[in-house]
A and B are shown apart, each in its own frame.
Chain A
Amino acid sequence: MAIKQLSIFVENREGTLVTVTDAIAKAGVDIRAMSVADTNDFGIFRLIVTDIAKAKQALDDANAFVSVTEVVGVAVQDEPGALAKVVKILADNNINIEYMYAFITVSKQFAYVVLRVEDNAAAEKILTEHGITLVTEEDMAKL
């Protein structure tokens, strides 16, 4: 159920982000969601893309340092309080969110959020039990 995210290590030097984004562009892959976590010395560029295999190959070929991480995709109603509800469910069930970011794409009804937790399966189970819609790889490709 979990969706796959590309995590790319980028050193804080000029041009490193260009190499990465260029490789994805040339592979003809679309970016659906992204976030950057950074320190003084390096950043980790996280991406949800339309074709992960193709993007990973292109990045490997460009000598980028990349790994694939599983994350949970959640569809929340595009209305006030919807995200708070999801976060509260997880907190009540002692599931820690390590990081979270939003999809670039929005539909009329939903906003999409990427969650990184320790135990994906547990988070998915709890959220489903509470009637929260999860996003699958297939859903994502259609977005």
Chain B
Amino acid sequence: MQKKFYQPEAETMPVNEIKKLQEFKLIRQVRYVYENVEYYRNLMDEKGVKPEDITCLQDISKLPFLSKNDLREAYPYGMLATDLNNCVRIHSTSGTTGKRVVAFYTQNDVDMWEECCARAIVAAGGDAGDVVQVAYGYGLFTGGAGLHGGSHKVGCLTLPMSSGNTNRQIQFMMDLNATFLCCTPSYAAYIGESLKEKGYKPEDNKLKAGIFGAEPWTEEMRKDIEKSLGIKAYDIYGLTESSGPGVAFECCEQNGMHINEDHFYAEIIDPDTGEVLPEGSKGELVFTSLDKEAFPLIRYRTRDITVLSREKCSCGRTFIRMHKPMGRSDDMMIIRGVNVFPSQIEAVLLNNGYAPNYQILVDRVNNTDTFEIRVEMLPEDFSDTPKVITKKEKKLQAAMKEMLGINPVIRLAAPKSIARSEGKAVRVIDNRKKMGINT
């Protein structure tokens, strides 16, 4: 029988036992951090909280939050909780939203992280017989290392491709019969597009599933990737700050990601007041790592907006599920006073038959925000009369207006004219930032 869980004892633990385990680990972790991380000790002292004030899970709300700013301030060693001699690895954030953050790992941290990724691979139907093509970037980025390690733990044959060189990706995928593809969703979409261009049909490859994460993507994009590669596409969630991908992963139900609750405690808070919200509320996701030794973060604000659900999952896992984040609050643009997420724009494009190849250009001219979306048109949409193309632009503009509440300028572009990404896609060019305008 196909293996359904990588660590069934943890993944199917009764909820009350999970909570007991989390409580035990939280109390232990707070004491550990207070003793070893001066930066966080100072935050706790400022708030007047002592480790002994934390006696149950609910007490977590007494603890101070950590934000990305704290990590930047504490750069490079300020959050380190153990001697550097005990550390075996450093990873770093991509720096897409500002200065890089570095994270440290002991061997136990690496093992825990890789096990989380292994759980994701098994949950997506993987076992030792699979050939896992890891096309996430290797290096400081956690994507490559995480899935690579997870693939080893499951015993899969691992193809450490890293990102880029799409021709070689395709050659190895076909020649070496890759059954799993792990990369960013935008790169998966690009590989799908390239396969089609080379004349391959979705059934020509041996892929059965893909694990895609590290950037927000929509349900529509999932369908697109599943169709072009002939696979099931699974989401995976994580942050460098919390170890990397694998904090949460999708199971066969593809209905939200199970959070590895034996290692992470998740809360949803009101991003404005910091108040903890009841289960089922939409708000900012906050993580506490319960086991990490080198870089243990307590109440780390992810900026991701999501909803948690304890509803029973038919896959048998008892871990709480998080919805696909609706977008990082970091990704959110405020254009003419309206909140706009790139994921909304992507959803409209895919719903209207466009490929997810687009670029958002925001600028400020005469004190007014300009908002333009460049979209590649499909070869079959080309017409020798401009009015046909202009009409398509108007139609797409109306669909955008309906979703976003504001009117973007739509500019249809030639196919393949928008640069493809091999890692995280550069979707937004906001020139207002260059002018020092706080957006």
Question: Are B384's CB and A5's CB within 8 A?
Answer: yes
Asked whether A11 is an interface residue with its Cβ less than 8 Å from the other chain, the reply is: yes
Cα distance, A39 to B412, chains bound together (Å): 12
Question: Are A44's CB and B415's CB within 8 A?
Answer: no
Question: Are B414's CB and A9's CB within 8 A?
Answer: yes
Question: Are B417's CB and A11's CB within 8 A?
Answer: yes
CB distance from A102 to the nearest CB of B (A): 17
Interface string of A38-79 (1 = CB under 8 A from B): 110111101000000000000000011101010000000000
Asked whether A32 is an interface residue with its Cβ less than 8 Å from the other chain, the reply is: no
Question: Are B411's CB and A41's CB within 8 A?
Answer: yes
- Chain B residues with CB under 8 Å of A9's CB are 382, 414
Cα distance, A11 to B386, chains bound together (Å): 12
Q: How large is the interface on A (under 10, 10 to 19, 20 to 34, 35 or more residues)?
A: 20 to 34
The one of B379, B385, B412 that contacts A42, using a Cβ cutoff of 8 Å: B412
Question: Are A37's CB and B385's CB within 8 A?
Answer: yes
> Total contacts A to B, CB within 8 angstroms?
42
The one of B386, B416, B417 that contacts A38, using a Cβ cutoff of 8 Å: B386
- Chain B residues with CB under 8 Å of A64's CB are 414
Asked whether A138 is an interface residue with its Cβ less than 8 Å from the other chain, the reply is: no
Question: Are B413's CB and A11's CB within 8 A?
Answer: yes
Asked whether B390 is an interface residue with its Cβ less than 8 Å from the other chain, the reply is: yes
Q: Which of B379, B384, B389 has the most CB of A within 10 A?
A: B384
Question: Are A46's CB and B384's CB within 8 A?
Answer: yes
Question: Are A67's CB and B384's CB within 8 A?
Answer: yes
Question: Are A37's CB and B414's CB within 8 A?
Answer: no
- Chain A residues with CB under 8 Å of B414's CB are 9, 11, 64-65
Chain A, residue nearest B393 (CB): A41
Cα distance, A69 to B417, chains bound together (Å): 22
Asked whether A14 is an interface residue with its Cβ less than 8 Å from the other chain, the reply is: no
Chain B, residue nearest A63 (CB): B416
The one of B379, B382, B390, B417 that contacts A7, using a Cβ cutoff of 8 Å: B382
Chain B, residue nearest A7 (CB): B384
The one of A41, A63, A99 that contacts B385, using a Cβ cutoff of 8 Å: A99
Chain B, residue nearest A65 (CB): B414
Cα distance, A37 to B384, chains bound together (Å): 9
Q: Given A11-B414, A63-B416, does the pair A44, B390 have CB atoms closer than 8 Å? A: no
Question: Are B385's CB and A44's CB within 8 A?
Answer: yes
B390-418 at interface with A (beta carbon < 8 Å): 390, 411-417
Asked whether A129 is an interface residue with its Cβ less than 8 Å from the other chain, the reply is: no
The one of B385, B389, B417 that contacts A98, using a Cβ cutoff of 8 Å: B385
- Chain A residues with CB under 8 Å of B390's CB are 39
Question: Are A39's CB and B384's CB within 8 A?
Answer: no
CB distance from B408 to the nearest CB of A (A): 13
Cα distance, A5 to B417, chains bound together (Å): 23
Q: Which of A7, A41, A42, A98 has the most CB of B within 10 A?
A: A41
- Chain B residues with CB under 8 Å of A7's CB are 382-384
CB distance from A16 to the nearest CB of B (A): 9
- Chain B residues with CB under 8 Å of A99's CB are 385
Question: Are B385's CB and A65's CB within 8 A?
Answer: no
Q: B-contacting residues of A (Cβ < 8 Å)? A: 5, 7, 9, 11, 37-39, 41-44, 46, 63-65, 67, 69, 98-99, 116
3 pairs of A and B residues whose beta carbons are closest in the complex:
A65-B414, A7-B384, A69-B384
Could you list 22 examples of A-B contacts with CB < 8 Å?
Answer: A7-B383, A9-B382, A9-B414, A11-B414, A37-B385, A38-B386, A39-B386, A39-B389, A42-B412, A44-B384, A44-B385, A44-B389, A46-B384, A63-B416, A64-B414, A65-B379, A65-B414, A67-B382, A69-B384, A98-B385, A99-B385, A116-B384
Besides A11-B417, A116-B384, A116-B385, 12 more A-B contacts (Cβ < 8 Å) are A7-B383, A7-B384, A37-B385, A37-B386, A39-B389, A41-B411, A44-B385, A65-B382, A65-B417, A67-B382, A69-B384, A98-B385
